[in-house]
């Protein structure tokens, strides 16, 4: 009995608060409209009151002659032209394709653990890997390349290239099929793969396979970590500003074969447990006619680099361990640094995407903290107002948990990230595209929706991209999720019993 009486006022206050918030948002976001409407009404009333003859009289009293009229018209036209020419070219995402790993590459937990025990004689390292795997959020269907299925793994130049060809060519073949694009029409090619950088480059490998034109503008970004996918998008966008009527293909991938750590250092064993095969190919274009069939338009890319800080610079560091085996060392304060990088990125992107209501509140809270009382809690803007969908890099369970907490997101908002981590593992720069595909496959992508892709990577970098959906994506969607989307979402336990 007492419970219901106390809950009722709580309920009513929360409802009241909700309406107050809604009202405030409507008011501030449409402030100009609210101002303009009364002004327009009064002008209209005044005009009606004056009558046509008086208006004509007013016009004649201005004593305008032909030259002045022509000059004013000329000025107006000139200003309009400059305005339209200086606007950036819209960049459309026509379509994209993700690599679906074959079943022959599947690695169940038990197989991973058994191989670890055989390869790695150190008991403690094996137990550590098991603990990581139990809490990783990965599922039983993630895939590793064929060379890693050997005991011990056999990473050679040949097997690395074979993996690169498998993942990249599959993704590009699918993209070309989906979009009907001919390889001869590709003007710009950007490939990013952080840890494998052969000569000739992966972009040259693509040009050779698909027989691209000799004047294609190709770029190969290596060493830039898991956020390199958005860096490639940024580069492609800049190039599309300079070159009119062009198509750009962006390929994001990470090649696992040469980078499987075979030593005992615990901090370096972590990537083995999380990184898996994956690749994505994206077609961007600035051609007007693609606007009709494009899925998304790129609204904004914001890049934040914390490399100036030594701690951030060293937090993901490739080095040799005490036995001379090289691997990637992840430092213990990775999450803290990721949080700071995110805050920095949000501070830049916030004013560009948030509605006025949120920005005003943030500004007021900032002023209040500076002038009135430093002890006030900082106001975290509600990004759910700005975006319908969130694609958070599936770097690991901890990353997703941290971002969910920081941005105050609901479980449904981070569902795409968690499920991608479960089904595909950490596929590095291409994970954002698997997540986007998940949202589409679930039938949640509608026209007008805005998507926020956030990537983190070594450096330490935090990059964001904002997309706006141009047409509702109909299910079923052909892609890596097509055979398993009905099984998702799954409930991922905190700790999987191995």
Partner 1 sequence: MVPSLSDEAMGVELEKSAVYGHKFSTVVPAEATGDAVTRELTNMDLIMKLHYLRAVYYFKQSEVVDGLAITDLKEPMFPWLNVYYPVTGRIRTEAGSRPLIKCNDCGLRIIEAKCSRTLEEWLSVEDSSRWRPLVPEKVLGPELHFSPLVYIQFTRFKCGGMAIGYSWAHLLGDAVSATNCINLWGKFLKGNPSLETLRLSNHQKKAESPAKHVKAPQKPVPVKQVKLAGECWQAPDTCKMATCSFKIAETDLKKMQGEKQNHVPPFAMISALIWKCLAKNGNDRESKSATICRNSTSLKSSDMLTNNLKASTITLDSSAANIDLLELATLILKHELDELESIDELIDRNSGKPDFVLYGANLTFIDMEGIDLYGLELKGQTPVQVDYNIDGIGDEGAVLVLQGRGRTDLTGSIQERTVMVTLPEDQINQLRGVLSSEFGIA
Q: Would you please indicate which residues are annotated as catalytic (active-site) residues?
A: 226, 305, 389, 393, 422, 426
Q: Does residue 150 belong to the site contacting partner 1 (CB under 8 A)?
A: yes
Q: Does residue 161 belong to the site contacting partner 1 (CB under 8 A)?
A: no
Asked whether 251 and 171 are in contact (CB, 8 A), the reply is yes
Asked whether 462 and 316 are in contact (CB, 8 A), the reply is no
Among the candidate windows 148-156, 171-179, 384-392, 448-456, which touches partner 1 by CB under 8 A? 148-156
Q: Does residue 15 belong to the site contacting partner 1 (CB under 8 A)?
A: no
* CB of 151 vs partner 1, minimal distance in Å: 4
User: According to CB under 8 A, which one of 88, 108, 307, 378 is a site residue for partner 1?
Assistant: 108
Q: Does residue 110 belong to the site contacting partner 1 (CB under 8 A)?
A: yes
Distance of alpha carbon 406 from alpha carbon 402, whole angstroms = 6
- Count CB-CB contacts under 10 A for residue 336: 14
* CB of 421 vs partner 1, minimal distance in Å: 16
For 192-247, the DSSP string reads EESS---SS-HHHHHHHHHT--TT-EEEEE-S-GGGHHHHHHHHHHHHHHHSSS-E
Q: Is 443 left (phi over 0), alpha (psi -120 to 50) or beta?
A: left
What end-to-end distance do the CA atoms of the chain give, in Å? 46
CB-nearer residue toward partner 1: 108 or 244: 108
CB-nearer residue toward partner 1: 162 or 380: 162
Total binding residues for partner 1 by CB under 8 A?
20
Q: Restricting to residues 377-436, name those near partner 1 by CB under 8 A.
A: none
* CB of 233 vs partner 1, minimal distance in Å: 34
* SS3 of residue 12 by DSSP: helix
Q: Please name the residue that has the structure tokens 């490739």.
A: 318
Among the candidate windows 17-25, 85-93, 109-117, 328-336, which touches partner 1 by CB under 8 A? 109-117
User: According to CB under 8 A, which one of 91, 94, 107, 341 is a site residue for partner 1?
Assistant: 107
Strand partners, 457: 461
DSSP label at 443? T
Q: Does residue 12 belong to the site contacting partner 1 (CB under 8 A)?
A: no
* CB of 26 vs partner 1, minimal distance in Å: 49
DSSP label at 430? G
* CB of 418 vs partner 1, minimal distance in Å: 18
Burial (Cβ within 10 Å: 0-12, 13-18, ≥19) of residue 424: buried
CA distances from 448 to 88, 153, 286, 354, 404 (A): 20, 47, 19, 16, 24
Tell me the residue length of the chain: 498
- Nearest CA to 196 out of 164, 229, 148 is that of 164
Q: Does residue 111 belong to the site contacting partner 1 (CB under 8 A)?
A: yes
CB-nearer residue toward partner 1: 146 or 381: 146
Helix H or strand E segment including 484 = none
CB-nearer residue toward partner 1: 106 or 293: 106
CA distances from 411 to 360, 405, 408, 475, 484 (A): 27, 10, 10, 22, 20
* CB of 196 vs partner 1, minimal distance in Å: 21
Asked whether 232 and 243 are in contact (CB, 8 A), the reply is no
Asked whether 173 and 456 are in contact (CB, 8 A), the reply is no
Asked whether 319 and 485 are in contact (CB, 8 A), the reply is no
User: According to CB under 8 A, which one of 33, 62, 85, 103 is a site residue for partner 1?
Assistant: 103
User: According to CB under 8 A, which one of 117, 178, 243, 384 is a site residue for partner 1?
Assistant: 117
Q: Does residue 146 belong to the site contacting partner 1 (CB under 8 A)?
A: yes
CB-nearer residue toward partner 1: 323 or 483: 483
Among the candidate windows 137-145, 163-171, 223-231, 405-413, which touches partner 1 by CB under 8 A? 137-145
CB-nearer residue toward partner 1: 139 or 155: 139
Asked whether 119 and 151 are in contact (CB, 8 A), the reply is yes
Among the candidate windows 32-40, 105-113, 368-376, 460-468, which touches partner 1 by CB under 8 A? 105-113
User: According to CB under 8 A, which one of 140, 173, 309, 401 is a site residue for partner 1?
Assistant: 140
CB-nearer residue toward partner 1: 117 or 444: 117
Q: Does residue 149 belong to the site contacting partner 1 (CB under 8 A)?
A: yes
Among the candidate windows 55-63, 136-144, 333-341, 367-375, which touches partner 1 by CB under 8 A? 136-144
DSSP label at 371? I
CB-nearer residue toward partner 1: 61 or 104: 104
Q: Please name the residue that has the structure tokens 């250092």.
A: 265
Q: Does residue 156 belong to the site contacting partner 1 (CB under 8 A)?
A: no
CB-nearer residue toward partner 1: 273 or 349: 273
Q: Does residue 151 belong to the site contacting partner 1 (CB under 8 A)?
A: yes
- Count CB-CB contacts under 10 A for residue 244: 10
Binding interface with partner 1 (CB under 8 A): 103-104, 106-111, 114-115, 117-118, 139-141, 146, 149-151, 154
């Amino acid at each position: 009995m007492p419970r219901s009486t106390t809950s009722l006022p709580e309920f009513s206050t929360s409802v009241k608060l909700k309406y107050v918030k809604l009202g405030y948002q409507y008011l501030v976001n449409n402030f100009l409209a609210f101002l303009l409407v009364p002004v327009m009404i009064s002008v209209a009333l005044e005009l009606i009151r004056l009558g046509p003859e008086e208006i004509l009289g007013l016009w004649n009293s201005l004593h305008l002659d032909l030259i002045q009229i022509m000059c004013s018209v000329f000025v107006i036209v000139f200003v309009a032209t400059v305005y339209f020419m200086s606007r950036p070219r819209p960049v459309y995402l026509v379509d994209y394709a993700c690599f679906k790993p074959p079943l022959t590459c599947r690695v169940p937990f038990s197989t991973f653990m058994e191989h670890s025990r055989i390869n790695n004689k150190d008991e403690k390292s094996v137990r550590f890997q098991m603990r990581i795997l139990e809490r990783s959020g990965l599922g039983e269907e993630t895939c590793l390349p064929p060379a890693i299925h050997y005991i011990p793994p056999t990473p050679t130049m040949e097997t690395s290239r074979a993996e690169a060809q498998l993942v990249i060519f599959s993704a590009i073949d699918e993209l070309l099929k989906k979009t009907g694009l001919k390889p001869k029409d590709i003007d710009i090619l950007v490939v990013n793969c952080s840890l494998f950088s052969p000569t000739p480059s992966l972009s040259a490998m693509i040009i050779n396979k698909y027989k691209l034109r000799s004047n294609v503008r190709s770029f190969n970004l290596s060493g830039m970590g898991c956020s390199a996918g958005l860096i490639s998008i940024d580069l492609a966008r800049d190039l599309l500003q300079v070159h009119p009527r062009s198509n750009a293909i962006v390929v994001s991938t990470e090649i696992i074969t040469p980078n499987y750590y075979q030593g005992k250092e615990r901090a370096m064993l972590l990537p083995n447990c999380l990184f898996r095969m994956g690749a994505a190919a994206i077609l961007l274009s600035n051609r007007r006619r693609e606007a009709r069939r494009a899925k998304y338009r790129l609204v904004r890319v914001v890049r934040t680099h914390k490399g100036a800080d030594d701690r951030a610079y060293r937090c993901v560091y490739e080095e040799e361990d005490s036995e001379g085996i090289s691997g990637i060392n992840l430092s213990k304060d990775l999450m803290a640094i990721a949080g700071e990088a995110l805050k920095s990125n949000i501070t830049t992107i916030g004013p560009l995407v948030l509605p006025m209501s949120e920005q005003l509140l943030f500004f007021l809270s900032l002023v209040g903290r500076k002038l009135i009382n430093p002890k006030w809690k900082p106001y975290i803007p509600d990004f759910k107002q700005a975006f319908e969908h969130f694609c958070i890099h599936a770097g690991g369970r901890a990353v997703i948990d941290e971002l969910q907490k920081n941005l105050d997101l609901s479980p449904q908002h981070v569902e795409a990230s968690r499920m991608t981590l479960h089904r595909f593992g950490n596929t590095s720069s291409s994970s954002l595209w698997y997540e986007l595909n998940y949202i589409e496959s679930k039938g949640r992508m509608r026209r007008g929706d805005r998507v926020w892709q956030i990537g983190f990577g070594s450096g330490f970098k935090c990059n964001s991209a904002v997309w706006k959906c141009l047409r509702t994506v109909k299910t079923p969607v052909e892609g890596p999720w097509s055979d398993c989307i009905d099984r998702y979402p799954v409930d991922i336990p905190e700790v999987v019993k191995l």
